[in-house]
Amino acid sequence: MLGRFDLQESSSLVALDNRRQWIMRLVLLMSLFTLVLMAVGSATRVMDAGLACPDWPLCFGTLVPQKQMNLQVFLEWFHRLLATSLGGMAIAFAGLSIAWRHALPRWLPYAAASALALVVLQGILGGLTVTELLRFEVVTAHLGMGLLFFCLLVSITVGLVPFQGTGTSRWLRLTAAIATVCVYGQSILGGLVSSQWAVHQCLYGDRLCHVLNSHLLGVAPATLSVLAVVTVAWRSPALATVLRQLSFSLLFVIAAQIGLGVATFQLKLQVPPLTVAHQLVGATLLGLLVALTTLAGRDRANSAANGAIAP
C-alpha cells in the first residue's frame, strides 16, 4: 500500500514538472518569436513599407491581399500575421498559467497577465501607427512597448530555468540592472532616429541633427555600463559559471553592435540588412542583460533563503 502511494506521489511530481517544462518552452518560443517579429518590423520600416497596407487590421480590405501583393505589402502583411500569432501565444500562455497555477510558481500567472496586457497595448499601438500615418511618437512607443514585452518574456523564461547560484552576485546584479536601463534608453533613442529618418534629415538637410547626435552620444554610457558588467564578473572569482559566461558573451555582442552601428552610419542606411541587423543585435544585447539581471537576482535570493534556513 505504501509503495502504491509513493508511486502516485512520484507520478504527480512528474506531472507538475512536465507542466513547468511546457510553460518554459512556450515562453522561450515566444521570446524567439518576438525577436523575429522585431526583425521583420525593422525590415518593414527600412523598406518604407509601414503604410503598404493602407487600412487596419485588414490589408486592402482582405485577410490576404493578392492583387496588390509586392515586397512592401508582403512585409507589412507578414508583420501583422506574426504579431497576431504572437497574440494567440500570449492568450494561451495566460490561460495555461491560470489552469496550471498549482504546478507553477506563484508569480507566473501575474507575469503572464502582464505579458498579455502588453500584447494588447502593442496591438493598439500597431494600429495607431497606420491610422496616424507613422507619427514618430507612435512608432517609437510601438518599439519601446515591444522591447518591454521582449524583456518580460526573457525574465520569465530565466525565472523558470533551474538554477543554483553561489550567492556572490550582489554587485553584478546592480551593474547589470544599470546596463539594462542604459541599453534600453539607447534603443529608444535609436527608435527616435529611425522613426524620424534623422540620419537622412541631418546628413542631407541639416535637420534633426540633435536627435542623431543624442543617439551617437548614448553609445558611451551604454558601452561603459556593459563593460562594467564584464569587469565585475571578471573580478568575482566565486561567480556561478552561467553568470560568468553570460557576462563575457556581452563583449562579443557589444562589439558587433558598435561595428554594425558604424557601418550603418558610414553607408548612410543604404544597406537595409545592416540596419535590420543593428536593431536585432541591439535587442539581443538587451535580452542578455535582462537574463543576467534576473539570474543574478535569483542568485542573491537563493543565498538569502539559505542563510535564513541555516542554523
- Summarised one tens digit per residue, pLDDT across range 82-104 is 999 999 999 999 999 999 999 89
Q: What's the confidence (pLDDT) of residue 155?
A: 97
Check the CA dihedral 186-190-195-201 and report its sign. Answer: positive
Domain count, the chain: 2
Same domain, 156 and 67: yes
Helices and strands, number each (H, E), in the chain:
10, 0
Output the pLDDT for position 2.
42
Backbone dihedral angles phi then psi of residue 46, each to the nearest 5 degrees: -60, -35
Tell me which H or E stretch contains 271.
Answer: none
Any domain includes 309: no
* Alpha-carbon gap, residue 119 to 146, rounded angstroms: 8
Task: Quickly count: other Cβ atoms within 10 Å of residue 194's Cβ.
Answer: 22
Measure the CA–CA gap between 183 and 177, rounded to whole angstroms.
Answer: 10
Q: What is the pLDDT of residue 311?
A: 38
Q: Is residue 11 part of a domain?
A: no
* Cα–Cα distance list, 3 to 7, 9, 40, 292 (Å): 6, 10, 55, 43
Q: Do residues 22 and 158 both lie within one domain?
A: yes
Q: Which residues constitute the domain of residue 225?
A: 166-304
pLDDT of 219 reads: 97
Q: Same domain, yes or no, for 138 and 256?
A: no
Q: What is the distance between the alpha carbons of residues 114 and 107, in angstroms, rounded to a whole number?
A: 11
Residue 13 within a domain: no
In this structure, are 175 and 195 located in the same domain?
yes
Final residue in a domain of this structure, among 108, 140, 162 = 162
List, for the chain, all residue ranges whose pLDDT scores fall below the cut of 50. 1-3, 5-13, 305-311
- Round to whole Å and give the CA distance between 118 and 128: 15
Instruction: Tell whether 30 and 52 lie within a shared domain.
Output: yes
Alpha carbons 79 and 63: distance in angstroms, whole number: 13
Residue 2 lies in a domain: no
Instruction: Say yes or no: 222 and 149 in one domain.
Output: no
